[in-house]
Each structure stands twice: as structure tokens, then as C-alpha cells.
Amino acid sequence: MTLTNRHLVLRSRPTGMVAPSDVEVIESPVPVIGEGEALVRTNLVAIDAAVRTWLNDQPGYLPPVEIGETVRAGTVGEVIESHCDAYEVGDVVTTFGGFSEYSVCRDDIFTTVVGRRSLGTADIDRAELLAVFGSTGATAYFGMHDIGRPQPGETVVVSAAAGATGSVAGQIAKAAGARVVGIAGSDEKCSVVVAEFGFDSCINYRSEDLNVALRQHCPDRVDVYFDNVGGPTLNAVLGRLAMNARVVLCGVISSYVTGDHPGPSNYVQLLARRARMEGFNTLDHWDRYGEAEAALRRLVDSGQLRYRSQVFEGLERSVDALNALFEGTNIGKTMLRP
């Protein structure tokens, strides 16, 4: 077994984008596991917008990463040693292993076995797990299935439509028979959203007047809005809601870096249109991950769900990977191979 573990630790709270001086790659002994624990070798680290929020000194649904701690993130990896009945050596698991070559997992809601060696794990696509069948796909599924509830013929709008969660959420709505309009930040992204992810159309909010474009792309107004960005985009779509519309609050990527979350002035449209706006957290539905995985698997197998991934190589690229989400350069799921 490797004697050292390379991992990324937090050295200072970022202001704005993550700077190289905010983090450091260090070496330490590979963790020694105790009773009820298993040692996991990380294959891929999921780069999610939530990672940036955990670097702030503000409590959320999970506590902040402390100075000197390994930066928290979702991972997929292989169990290489186990003192826990829930995991066998060779199991492929998703867990919160962080930016680390090795991590320790326990039998809790944060770790899920996605493949057993005894059943064959060699063909498991680790990138697909993070892009579709892990927390990203589950987030899209629970938000769209439980809150959005798209119906055939309805109009669904998804912001950050070229991103990991938005691209899956839109395809779920499309499979339900809805007409789906994406919002993205470049012509290239809009092209991918339509040509690869199957949306009916896509608005480039950087080059188009969003209010005008929403009237053009959504002549019958918006029945479901899956919001990943907040800010002015949320405000604009609220102004275009249909009667009894549903607004799914998934994320506020437009203000994760600044920490400034301006409230939408168009919230009065929720009253005027008898609409509902609801937030959610995927961790609340951990016991339903099997349901989400099965539904997503049916869409993948039928050709109704596609994904893209971008992989950064090495812990030294961690800052680049984290900032890519907020620079508008990523398409699909961003991940890192430590």
C-alpha cells in the first residue's frame, strides 16, 4: 500500500475566485482505519458549485471546511481495505472523499455502494457515475420530478443548461413530454444544449436581452423553471411565469463567489400567477437514490439522456477546476483525477 496520501487542504478563506495561495497540496500518511471504517482510493473528484460555498466561514447544510482541513467534495473510488460490514474490498463507492488520493468512509448517508467486486466492477464508468448517477443526477431528478413535475406540452426553462445538473434536468423534462428552453452563457454552449442535450431551444443571456428572448422562446409563458443561478436570471423568468407555475430553486451560482444574494423584485408574480417557488436539498432524499438511479438508467438506456464531462488531471489543477464553474468555461460535469 502507498505510504503517503496527497490531499488538498484549505489555508485561507477565498475572497472571490479561489487563489492558489488559498489551498495547498500536502502529503501525509495514508489514514489508518478503525472498526466500522473502510479505506477508499479516489478515482475522480466531483467539482460542484457547493464546494466553493463550503470554503466560506458561513454555516450551511454542511459545516464550513476548517482551515487546515482537506477540501470537501464528492468522489467516486474503490474500497481497498475494510473493517466495515457494509463494504467489501473492491467495492466502488460514491462518498465525500474530498480532494484526496485516499479517504475513509463509514456506513452512513454520505456513502453509497455502486458496484461490488463479486458482481464485476471493471466496466463501471466512473465519470458516468459522477455525471449522471451520483448526486448530480439525483439533484436534477428530485428537483424536476418532485417539484417541477413537468407535463406533456408544458414549457420548461432551465438555467445553466449546459452545466452538469441543468443539462440532466432539462433532459428529464424533455423525456416527460415538455417543451424545454435552456439558458446558457455562450453560443457554443447553446449549440451543445440543443444539438447534444436535445433542448428545443437555448438563450444566450450574454448576447441577448433575456426578457425579450423569454417572450420569443416562451410564447405561452413558463410552466416550470429549474433555477441554478439566481440573481437577474431568476428575476427575469419570474416575470414570464404561467398560471400555477412551479419554480425549482436548485442553486445560485451567480452569487456563490460574491456571497451577495439579492432577492428577486419580481417575486410578486408568484402571487399574481398562483405559482410556487420551492428549494430542496438532495441529502434529504438519500433513501431514494435507488429510485433516482433507476429512472436515470432508463433514460440513458433509451438514448434520452446524454452527458458531457471535463476532467482535470492532478491535484495541482484543483484551483483551475474549481474556478472553471464560475468562469463560464465548463460544459457538462467537471471533475478531477487526483
Residue 327 pLDDT greater than 90, yes or no = no
Q: DSSP secondary structure string, 326-338?
A: HHT---BEEEEE-
Residue listed under C-alpha cell 438508467: 297
Measured from the Cβ of residue 67, the count of other Cβ atoms closer than 10 Å reads: 12
Q: DSSP secondary structure string, 77-116?
A: EEEEEE-STT--TT-EEEE---SBSEEEEESSTT-EEEE-
Residue ranges per structural domain of the chain: 4-124+308-337, 135-282
Bridge partners for 39 per DSSP? 81, 104
* pLDDT category of residue 256 using cuts at 50, 70 and 90: low
Phi, psi of 207 (to 5 degrees): -110, -10
Distances in Å between the Cα of 167 and the Cα atoms of 18, 140, 323 are 25, 9, 19
209-222 burial code (b ≥16 CB/10 A, e <16) = ebeebbeebbeebb
Residue 283 pLDDT greater than 90, yes or no = no
Winning range, highest mean pLDDT, from 65-74, 128-137, 248-257: 65-74
Among candidates 64, 44, 68, which has minimal Cα distance to 55?
64
According to CATH, what is the number of the domain 4-124+308-337? 3.90.180.10
Residue 119 pLDDT greater than 70, yes or no = no
Cα dihedral 232, 157, 282, 278 in deg (nearest 10): 60
What is the pTM (predicted TM-score) of this model? 0.92
Phi, psi of 123 (to 5 degrees): -90, 5
Distances in Å between the Cα of 90 and the Cα atoms of 62, 107, 122, 260 are 29, 16, 10, 44
Interatomic CA distance for residues 223 and 242, integer angstroms: 5
Domain 135-282 has CATH 3.40.640.10: no
Residue 81 pLDDT greater than 80, yes or no = yes
The helix/strand/coil state of 120 is coil
Residue 255 pLDDT greater than 80, yes or no = no
In whole numbers, what is the pLDDT of the chain averaged over residues?
93
Strands 102-106 and 112-115: unpaired
